[in-house]
Amino acid sequence: MTETTMTETGMTETILVINAGSSSIKFQLFDVADGTLPGRLRGRIEGIGTAPRLVLQDGSVPLPAESGDGVPGALAFLGAWLRERLSGAMPVAVGHRVVHGGPAYDTHVAVDDTVIGTLERYVPLAPLHQPNNLAPIRAIRKLLPDVLQVACFDTAFHRHHSEPADRYAIPDSLYQEGVRRYGFHGLSYEYIAGRLPDLAPGIAGGRVVVAHLGSGASMCAIQDGRSVDSTMGFTALDGLPMGTRPGQLDPGVVLYLMDKGTDARAIERLLYHDCGLKGLSGISNDVRDLLASTDPRASLALDCFVYRASLAIGALAAAMGGIDGLVFTAGIGERAPAIRKAIAERARWLGFDLDEAANAANALCITTPDSRVKGCVIPTDEERMIALHTRNILRRHRSA
């Protein structure tokens, strides 16, 4: 039977997707339709807590003063704005990106009080993200208590790794408590894995390293469409150097800071906000700024980023017993040809032969026809992935 996609007022039903940060809320609205889930509109609310404004493709709208009460105020404004835009027909479901599902959730779930309580316990595992992910869920439960909300986890795509991939060399009791390697950016990797059969069918069933390179950066080994291993671990601090996070770090550095008298909160601020490209360069956490700079510290920061990324490619290839494809995605991966070129030069030993003209043009395929390892640039769409999972759970709820 065909799915109902119209409200009682005759309006097309929609799913709202929210990707919340500390000072911004990205959102997209999707039509609930069979097959393609066409996007209806997208935007973001910036400056939450200071000078909030709604930003759309056709311009920016300042929010009224009464919406300045942090995330709840911004969401109240967004709800009123959507209600007017949709002629009173509010979304039938809301999907949220939630960074950490912890040991409890290996798949995406409908939100209830138990889910919220469990996710609150994982705030220490993702202090930069988890509180911001949970804030809109709570606010919408107050504004629209009858609307289905779905939590979609960045960790879920990685939850079926082998034990050797997920274990740290620590006592088993800690593993049973949930101290293990989770991996993140799973919604992005799941989207890329789903696009490969259409965009790069020659490697879709093979061994692919996907490089999600942005302010938060990681890499994932994907074999036959499934995650095999990832550079991130227990928290989103591990792996590659990032905008403000250090990536791989000897735990002895933390012990050294503790011995100096640095408390846990100060160490947390250092590791999440003052390291990575920002810490190395002393200039910026933005690759665009560093590429434009003549300061040797900017070059050093980028060289460290490229070096660690090239090491990760080799390690992830080893996890799969080889490599057939390398895919770049996210802000840096999609729009920084110079970074891709530098990484590609270090990956030549694996059989990666860059087509420099294609790379400069941000083409889909950036390797030569005779390159043994195929290289691609594929834009990611985490919001669409969230919308798909939310629609699936909405269907199950309606069937029940």
Question: What is the average per-residue pLDDT within 368-391?
Answer: 96
Residue 7 has pLDDT above 80, yes or no: no
Q: What are the pLDDT digits (tens) for 238-253?
A: 999 999 999 999 999 9
Considering the entire predicted model, what is its pTM?
0.91
Alpha helices for the chain (secondary structure H): 70-85, 113-120, 130-143, 163-166, 172-177, 186-199, 201-204, 251-259, 264-273, 276-281, 287-292, 296-320, 330-335, 337-346, 356-360, 382-399
Residue 289 has pLDDT above 90, yes or no: yes
Q: What is the DSSP string of 154-183?
A: TTGGGTT--HHHH--SS-HHHHHHT-S---
Q: Using N-to-C axis directions, what is the helix angle for 130-143 and 70-85, rounded to 10°?
A: 50
pLDDT reported for residue 41: 83
pLDDT band at 8 (very low <50, low <70, confident <90, very high): very low
pLDDT reported for residue 329: 97
Coil/strand/helix, residue 44: strand
pLDDT reported for residue 128: 79
pLDDT reported for residue 1: 31
pLDDT band at 88 (very low <50, low <70, confident <90, very high): low
Long-range pairs of 288-294 with CB within 8 A, sequence gap ≥ 24 = 288/336, 291/336, 291/338, 291/339
Question: What is the average per-residue pLDDT within 83-99?
Answer: 85
Sorted by where each begins, the domain ranges of the chain are: 14-153, 201-381
Higher local confidence (pLDDT), 140 or 198: 198
| Matching fold, domains 14-153 and 201-381 | yes
Residue 319 has pLDDT above 60, yes or no: yes
pLDDT reported for residue 97: 94
pLDDT reported for residue 118: 95
Annotation marks residue 154 as catalytic:
yes
Residue 353 has pLDDT above 80, yes or no: yes
For the beta sheet containing 226-230, the strands, ordered from the edge strand earlier in sequence to the opposite edge, are 226-230, 217-223, 207-213, 325-329, 374-377
Closest CA to 313 of 166, 212, 179: 212
pLDDT reported for residue 74: 80
Closest CA to 127 of 22, 231, 217, 276: 22
Residue 120 CA to residue 180 CA, distance in Å, equals 18
Return the CATH number of the domain spanning residue range 14-153: 3.30.420.40
pLDDT reported for residue 106: 93
Question: What is the average per-residue pLDDT within 69-83?
Answer: 77
Q: Would you say 17 and 9 are in contact if contact means Cβ atoms under 8 Å apart?
A: no
pLDDT reported for residue 155: 95
pLDDT band at 378 (very low <50, low <70, confident <90, very high): very high
Please tell me which residue in 31, 112, 146, 154 is annotated as part of the active site: 154
Question: What is the average per-residue pLDDT within 170-174?
Answer: 96
What percent of the chain shows pLDDT beyond 70?
92
Q: What is the mean pLDDT of the chain?
A: 90
Residue 73 has pLDDT above 90, yes or no: no
pLDDT reported for residue 117: 95
Residue 172 has pLDDT above 60, yes or no: yes
Burial label, 103 (beta-carbon count in 10 A; 0-12, 13-18, 19+): middle
pLDDT reported for residue 60: 66
- Does domain 201-381 match CATH 3.30.420.40? yes
